[in-house]
Homo-oligomer: A and B are copies of this chain.
Amino acid sequence: MEYRTHQCGKITEQYIGEKVTITGWVQKRRDLGGLIFIDLRDRSGIVQIVFSPEVSAEALETAEKVRSEYVLTVTGTVLERDQSTVNPAMNTGKIEISGEEIKILNSAKTPPFSISEDIEINEDIRLKYRYLDLRRPVMQETLKMRHEVTRFIRNFLETEEFMEMETPMLTKSTPEGARDYLVPSRVHPGEFYALPQSPQLFKQLLMVSGFEKYYQIVRCFRDEDLRADRQPEFTQVDIETSFMGQEALLSMMEEMMTGLVKKVKGADIPKPFPRMTYKEAMDRYGSDKPDTRFGLELINVSDVVKQSGFKVFAAAVENGGEVKAINVKGKAADYSRKDIDGLTEFTARYGAKGLAWMKVEASGLKGPISKFFNEEDAANLINVLNAEEGDLLLFVADKSSVVADSLGALRQKLGKDLGLIDQLKFNFLWVVDFPLVEYDEDAERYVALHHPFTMPKTEDLHLMDSNPSEVRAQAYDLVLNGYELGGGSQRIYERDVQEKMFKTLGFSEEGAREEFGFLLDAFEYGTPPHGGIALGLDRMVMLLAGRTNLRDTIAFPKTASASCLLTNAPSPVNEKQLDELHLGLKVKQESN
């Protein structure tokens, strides 16, 4: 008996009268009036089989032993269903198979959760039994979409003459950047490899080598404390080009992303994508990855309030900070004092010392601080905030970064709470003109916002010495619905610009050489103008699949404590393994 002539989910009415053999898992078994119905599932879908004593008493007898998730091979004839039992929701809903032969390939214990129903299951249980969780239709669909996304991107880039090239996983630790995962060397006592945070240096070297168009869909690693949308290992669509420039690269990426959304969602996304400078994004949304699917923008009221009688506002402006507000249109009545206290607590998590508020009533501004605003100030506020009766106005006064963080987060929360977000929208956005460097208070020096090879904008080069924080970079992020899908930059390829950059970052010539020696060496042998981008595949799939949990896009993910509940990794190793690696533990090892 062969395994299959057809796939379960593809047996439609066109096969009526034909004999077929199918193999798969038992989704459901029902006994009904002396008959046994089995829904058999394979990768393609589900089909119904019916066993009856008239057709084969032997097959019926075997079918009786069958339980959920047994693996069966069944041969039978495709019959048209009674009109009354047609299931229009299923591809195979117009037919059923009259089972003539049945072979149990394997039995199954009762699974710890239902494979067929889309129910809420504790995630730890799902991760422990991931092989069963992955049988669930929603997980099958998500991973199929991941495959389609990957495939589309490969085909797109290869059509554009990109070469897939592999870079090392066992590479060198670089103290800059996030924390590395280290791999001890057995052959070189006391020495370590690092797993790559990204193939950044290697892809730039491939440009020095003249490959011109590189791509790789590659695993990257960061040993950081995890948030909901982070994994210790993640997959990156990594791209680098020579002789292309920022405009051509961004336009190509738009082509790729719109093609992808069309392919997997059927949606048409207009091109070119909107662009926003980093400065504008921070001003209007308090975020460098704004979700533009809804309004609730941040409005700067510093000029209006700096002379007002409300000392908190005036002082914030006086001290170099600012006052910004969100106008929550028409929602004044929906927010009680207690509700607003909740919002205040929320913004406090982002460093805001308070959340001031007023409501707009027919008679003017109302609320605990309204008394501090004279008629003229109130009118100005109403004007600037485009406020009308029934609006709720929320204010934060602080230094710019706190205002942005807290009001930006509050905006996102309100958008969600108030149902302002259209879940069907795909709002792509380029955020451009990032600052080249920022001042690190702890390190007491400037640090690169992207990395030390990011090209400054030509027109800002003259500020490198006098006012580094004002220099804008040729760097860009691709944002989708408030998530950073990825980012990149054009790279410095000229020696004098690179030297200026290192000087700004406080590196001595020696220090720079120690840190980036081989790349600087490489750059002396004819480096082409080059630049690139890297996109997070896991996050891309999450957004396209409409999931909210990054783990649902990864076949075998890790928990927030970087554990694999399926394999129990990480785990203790034995003494011999440690000895070979010239290592000792500074903790008590569990016995093993």
Q: Which A residues lie at the B interface, using CB under 8 A?
A: 3-4, 23-26, 41-43, 69-71, 105-109, 111, 129-132, 134-135, 140, 143-144, 146-147, 150-151, 154, 158, 163-173, 175, 179-195, 201-202, 205-206, 208-213, 219, 221, 223, 232-233, 235, 243-245, 493-494, 518, 522, 524-529, 554-556, 558, 561-564, 566-574, 577, 579-590
Contact = CB atoms under 8 A, between A and B. Distances in A.
Given A183-B182, A184-B184, A573 B192 contact: yes
Given A147-B164, A569-B194, A209 B131 contact: yes
Nearest to A193: B570
27 contacts: A43-B211, A71-B529, A107-B526, A108-B526, A129-B525, A130-B209, A134-B206, A134-B209, A134-B211, A135-B210, A143-B163, A147-B163, A147-B164, A147-B165, A168-B569, A169-B221, A170-B558, A173-B573, A175-B574, A183-B183, A185-B562, A187-B562, A188-B561, A191-B572, A201-B567, A518-B568, A583-B586
Main secondary structure on chain A at its contact with chain B? loop
Given A23-B528, A143-B165, A170-B562, 7 more contacts: A23-B243, A108-B525, A166-B219, A168-B569, A170-B564, A183-B195, A183-B570
Nearest to A220: B169
A219 B183 CA distance: 15
Nearest to A205: B131
Contact of A3 (B23, B180, B243): B243
A567 B171 contact: yes
A135 to B, nearest CB: 5
B187 A554 contact: no
A4 B130 CA distance: 51
B168 A556 contact: yes
Contact of A164 (B150, B184, B571): B150
A191 B574 CA distance: 10
A192 B143 contact: no
Contacts of A144: 163
Contacts of A493: 105-106
A42 B210 contact: yes
Contacts of A189: 585-587
A4 B221 CA distance: 37
Given A163-B144, A212-B42, A567 B518 contact: yes
A524 B167 contact: no
A522 B131 contact: yes
Contacts of A571: 172-173, 191-192
Contact of A151 (B129, B158, B185, B223): B158
Given A71-B528, A167-B556, A524-B109, A134 B567 contact: no
A182 B179 contact: no
Nearest to A171: B569
A71 B526 contact: yes
Given A518-B566, A528-B71, A209 B166 contact: no
B43 A577 contact: no
A166 to B, nearest CB: 6
A175 B577 CA distance: 9
Contacts of A563: 188
A288 B161 CA distance: 40
Nearest to A494: B106
Nearest to A523: B106
A564 B171 contact: yes
A568 B184 CA distance: 14
Contact of A169 (B158, B185, B195, B586): B195
Contacts of A583: 184, 583-586
Given A3-B243, A147-B163, A172 B554 contact: no
A569 B193 contact: yes
A494 B106 CA distance: 7
